[in-house]
Amino acid sequence: MFKHAKNDKLAIKGGPKAKTTPNIAMYPGGQEIGEEEKREVLEVLDHKYLFRYYGPEDHPSKVAELEKRFAAKFGAEHALAMNSCTSTLISALVAGGVGPGDEVIVNGYTFFASAASIVAAKAIPMICDIDDTFTLDLDDLERRLTDSTKAVIAVHMRGAPCDMERLVNICKSNRLFLIEDVAQACGGSYKGKKLGTFGDIGCFSFQYHKMITAGEGGMCITNDARLYDRLMGYHDTAACWRPDRFAPERYQGELFCGVNFRMGELAGAVMLAQLDKLDGLLEKMRENKRRIKNQINDIERIAMRRLHDEEGDTGICLMFMLEERGKVAPFVEALQAEGIDAAGVFNKGIPDWHIYAHWKHLLGKQTSTREGCPWTCPYHKGRDVSYSEDMCPNTLNLLGRAVHIDIPPQMTEQDCDMIAAGIRKVAKALL
């Protein structure tokens, strides 16, 4: 491991930096875009085949190939590519029959799109606390169940799995539709099984910050043929996917009004190359995280994020908690002075779309029209739904004490050792 000169004086007070190498932006797959992506994209352009269903010449669809390979890699019967993860979440809710009058439980710590998709499906978001894994607190989830609860969106937040064994049992016992939001955990697993394959539908993101990327894009996977049909029906209202798009219904409920969430061939081409790089990215991030954690696990007064399955964690970040919220800002400031790209997670004065307390438009039930749907929906027979900034106190407490460090796969062993040394240095001085 990298050896540092013995000097415990903090950089913020004039001492030498613990990390002297440049920080790397957290675009795991984006940083690896190269000749493989170019070849795939140029093949699409050379054949002028920009739309998956037809073009000036007959040519195999990149999007169709991506779906086939993605399904096989994740062990699912069906995969359907879309233009964003938000689109996959909305489509998954619609495919599952979620709509007016229904309540859907979602993490209070997730990107806002997870909650916004519920409103787009005309259902009511019910915000749930997290625990020290920074994923769903299942005790709180069970307390929030009502006769109107129809579904759960389980977000594998910051690359780590929810407690899928218990969650699946809860959903089966209460006949709840289960959607896995795998946007930040592509390639992660729980007890050896890929995330996205436990629920009724798994939803993935290919946005630029994510594990593998085409800039934008998403994927749904499912083992249910009828759900797959409904996903296709909603994401492509023109019914291009049907053998005869103008034919009568082959079964009741096959055709209904939908939208256009299709993925284009250029995005599909990029994703084919990116998919081949997923395993290598995961391996490197996991190695980096283990290397850092092994050097700081013995630090007192730091509580590492608890993991339901350490082997299934993607390794995209390191998260730990300090004993007091007031210590986070000076701790993070000192880490940054040491050259480490660290950050706090929750600060009431700094808006962040990943924390429910900042979802002002949702907390205020603001809608695009004056009627106020879905909260005013006459089909909703449950209690009056109200929100407040402090409705999930454990979420705010845990995130308020958390320190977050990205772990790009492009980091070297020296980078990891310097980060570990910097954390030890700051902890010794401030804790």
Catalytic residues: 210
Hey, what are 179's tokens? 């959607």
CA atoms of 277 and 206, how far apart (whole Å): 13
Q: Give residue 236's Cα distance to chain centre.
A: 24
DSSP 347-364: -TTS--TTBGGG-HHHHT
Name the pairing type of β-strands 218-222 and 78-82: antiparallel
> What CA–CA distances, in Å, run from 52 to 6, 48, 207, 243?
60, 11, 20, 14
SS3 299: coil
DSSP character for 70?
H
CA atoms of 430 and 402, how far apart (whole Å): 15
Q: Give residue 152's Cα distance to chain centre.
A: 15
Hey, what are 188's tokens? 């992660």
CA atoms of 232 and 237, how far apart (whole Å): 8
> Which residue type sits at 198?
F
Q: Are 342 and 335 in contact (CB under 8 A)?
A: yes
Q: φ, ψ for residue 319 (rounded to 5)?
A: -130, 130
Q: Give residue 87's Cα distance to chain centre.
A: 13
Q: φ, ψ for residue 252 (rounded to 5)?
A: -60, 130
Strand partners for 232: none
Q: Are 219 and 82 in contact (CB under 8 A)?
A: yes
Give the containing element (helix H, strand E) for 124: strand 124-128
> What CA–CA distances, in Å, run from 58 to 28, 33, 55, 238, 269?
34, 28, 7, 21, 16
CA atoms of 409 and 280, how far apart (whole Å): 9
Ramachandran class of 156: left when φ > 0, alpha when ψ lies in -120 to 50, beta otherwise: beta
* Closest by Cα among 35, 27, 343, 48 to 214: 27
